[in-house]
Amino acid sequence: MSERIKSWPGTPLTDKDLAANKVLLTEWQPNLKYAWDAGIGYGRYFAELRKGRIVGTRCHKCRRVLLPARVFCEWCFRTVDEWVYLKDTGVINTFSVAYTGSMAERLKDPKIPALVEVDGSGGVAIMHLISEVDPWKVRIGMKVKAVWKPAQKREGAITDIKYWKPI
């Protein structure tokens, strides 16, 4: 042992002490249950998705729509002014044709992730999948519409929109 460790207060444990059970040992299973609160803005955003509607909030000072909805404008540092219902239509801003899935597996049929600028949002886009179209016919500027899960299968998540399709 180094001189420094020898000078520390207390009694060091030896292998003999451990074998003789001179050490207090306790075992327990932690309760790791928790709850996550989405807050007012995201909470309502998810609740509205469950109803088949897209909702955002508007800040009158900077004149922008926040999507997903939030109650605080991070540009102006103020509470937003109103809730706004947006259409479930939009325009493709950019996209990719992906032959690799989210788990890095090869896909026979490609997925088309895209940024969809939601109509009425003032330029705000959300990332989602495009379907019901030949991947080689997808274009920037293409008009699309949300395809929703059946109401009884919705759970209050962005995946309540199954995908977007051309209109």
Residue 5 has pLDDT above 70, yes or no: no
Q: Quick one: average pLDDT of 88-113?
A: 95
Condensed to tens digits (0 to 9), the pLDDT of residues 109-132 reads: 999 999 999 999 999 999 999 999
Q: Minimal CA–CA distance to 116: which of 82, 40, 167, 152?
A: 167
Helices and strands per DSSP (H, E), number in the chain: 3, 11
pLDDT of residue 20: 87
Condensed to tens digits (0 to 9), the pLDDT of residues 23-69 reads: 777 788 888 887 777 889 999 999 999 999 999 999 999 999 999 99
**CA torsion, points 137, 124, 45, 132, in degrees to nearest 10?**
0
- Whether the pTM exceeds 0.85: the reply is no
Helix (H, G, I), strand (E, B) or coil at 17: helix
Q: Which residue has the higher pLDDT, 154 or 21?
A: 154
Q: Are 163 and 116 in contact (CB under 8 A)?
A: no
Residue 2 has pLDDT above 90, yes or no: no
pLDDT of residue 93: 97
